[in-house]
Structure 1
Amino acid sequence: MCGRFVLYLDVRSLSASLKLPLAEPPLAPRYNVAPGTWITAVLRPDPDSQLTLDELWWGYRPHWADDKAPQPINATVEKVATSNYFKGAFAHHRCLVPADGWFEWVRLEGRKQPHYLTRTDREPLWFAGIWTERPDGKPGCAILTEPARGVAKEIHPRMPLALDAESLEPWLDPDLTDRETIRRMVHHLNAALITHWPVSQRVNKPMEDDVDLIEPINEP
């Protein structure tokens, strides 16, 4: 799953990775991004508009859903294209969520130890996401997850769907709406590029937000 992530790279670095200009205000570094907050994403507000760096609420609830409907922060790759709750957004409202890494917890001697997962080359990660207009009229999103691969399997059975460089443009292409076409053209990042290490228990508290949260520690 993906329930906490990190984004500290600046807009210039993200623009270079995406190979598109993102002329937006500077981003404040965030080292403990939690659900139920505004997160940065790249999307097209409508099919004819340019890509923009925007803020989405991390919690997905379509405008047609009632107040008791769930607000998932993740959507699985196995069901996102067929679930009535997600399939409209999968076809027409896809987005990319930039990140430097994410946190997962592994059970260790009766407790949960947080680990930080990131790219070995420290390049940005681009999580596949979907977004929708919420009942309050504001945009909300969910990050797609897939079965964990590579060393990520050591920590958790699932991981965010991080896309490779060649998949970023087709994922954001408004003309691609067919599930099988998207599946052929969009691919996840090579799992060999992912590494991880244990970090401080302070990350368990969403109010904690500083660079020390991603520093490796010695496991007891």
Structure 2
Amino acid sequence: MIIGYASLMCGRFALFTPLERLARKVGASVPEQKVVFRYNVAPGTWITAVRQASENEPPVIDQMWWGYRPRWAKSTGNQPINARVETVATNAYFKSAFARHRCLIPADGWYEWIKDTKPKQPHYLCRKDRKPLFFAGIFAEREDGSLGCAIITEPARGSATDVHDRMPLILDDASLEHWLAPDLTDRETIRSMVHHLDADLIEHWPVSTLVNKPVEGQGEELINPA
């Protein structure tokens, strides 16, 4: 079980953009299932992700377990929910997925907590224009055959530094196709073709401490300014 969400680098987010809109954005077919609006998505749950299995096939919107543990690690392996951008391409646990199994995790915003506050004070971070975000992620097949993923994080930029020293790696629109491309495997080529979103597009505000309890706090009121 993953615990201590509030101390993680990127441990909670919201997704309420309809799947049809997300599918159009990434060129994927619209899945039959409808997105369940979630305002407090926590680790250790099924989340919406975008992946591309072959360069000759369009991306697909899938459900992945938020917790990365490749099949070879067995059930006793670590199950991280984040991977650091500084080491994801070279760390033995992640490098194969970085080269061949990259994904996008769509979100409307994410939460971080101000340090040394009691109770922990969450802030909601999102685009100023309220467009959906696409976090860079990696995934692997788990021991049970399902897919599990981790969100890549980078040092905080822009106003996000007010809240935390890390943030999810958010890709700009021009990078989405390159990030998903399964034939793009070279680290330096990926680095030259994939870029993060302009930090000036992000803003944040304090929200209810109900976010601290994912079982109890789930409504749309969670993203309202406190």
Question: Does the 8 A contact of 1:17 with 1:124 survive in 2?
Answer: no
Report the equivalent of 1:214: 223
- What secondary structure does 2:72 align onto? coil
1:67 aligns with 2:75: yes
- 2:28 and 2:61 in contact (8 A); partners too: no
Q: Which residue of the other structure, out of 174, 177, 186, is the alignment partner of 2:182?
A: 174
Aligned pairs for 1:128-207 (under 5 A) are 128-207=136-215
CA 1:210–1:181: 2 relative to 1, 3 Å:
same
Is 1:105 equivalent to 2:113 in the alignment? yes
Q: In the alignment, does 2:74 pair up with 1:32?
A: no
Structure 2: how far apart are the matches of 1:121 and 1:108?
30
- The partner residue of 1:79 within 71, 76, 87 is 87
Counterpart Cα distance in 2 of 1:51 and 1:109: 42
CA distance in 2, matches of 1:107, 1:60: 26
1:105-149 deviation per Cα after TM superposition (whole angstroms, max 9, x unaligned): 002554420000000000110000000001121110000000000
Question: Which amino acid in structure 1 is aligned with residue 44 of structure 2?
Answer: G
Instruction: Specify which of 22, 46, 64 is matched with residue 29 of structure 2.
Output: 22
- In the TM superposition, residue 49 of structure 1 has moved relative to its aligned partner by 3.8
1:163-212 CA distances to partner (integer Å, 9 max, x unpaired)?
00000000001110000000000000000000000000101111121100
- In 2, are the aligned partners of 1:11 and 1:22 still within 8 Å (CA)? no
Mapped partners of 1:178, 1:109: distance in 2: 43
Give the Å deviation of 1:50: 3.0
Contact 1:144 1:161 in 2 (8 A): yes
Residue 77 of structure 2 aligns to a residue whose secondary structure is coil
- Residues matched between the structures, number: 216
Q: CA deviation at 1:28?
A: 1.0
Q: Report which stretch shifted further, 23-32 or 39-48.
A: 39-48
Q: Contact between 2:108 and 2:131, CA under 8 Å: does it hold in 1?
A: yes
How many angstroms does 1:69 deviate by? 1.4
Alpha-carbon deviations, 1:33-71, whole Å to 9, x = none?
000000000002455543110000000001001322110
Segments of 5+ residues of structure 2 without an aligned counterpart are 1-8
- Which secondary structure state, in structure 1, belongs to the residue aligned with residue 138 of structure 2? strand
In the TM superposition, structure 1's runs of 4+ consecutive aligned residues that sit over 4 Å from their partners are none
TM-score by length of 2: 0.92
Structure 1 vs Structure 2: percent identity of aligned residues?
Answer: 59
User: Which runs of 5 or more structure 1 residues have no equivalent in the other structure?
Assistant: none
Change (3 A) 1:107 1:81: same
Alpha-carbon RMSD across the aligned residues, in angstroms, is: 1.3
Tell me what 2:50 maps to: 42
Letter of the 1:212 counterpart: E
Query: Counterpart of 1:52 in structure 2: which amino acid?
Result: V
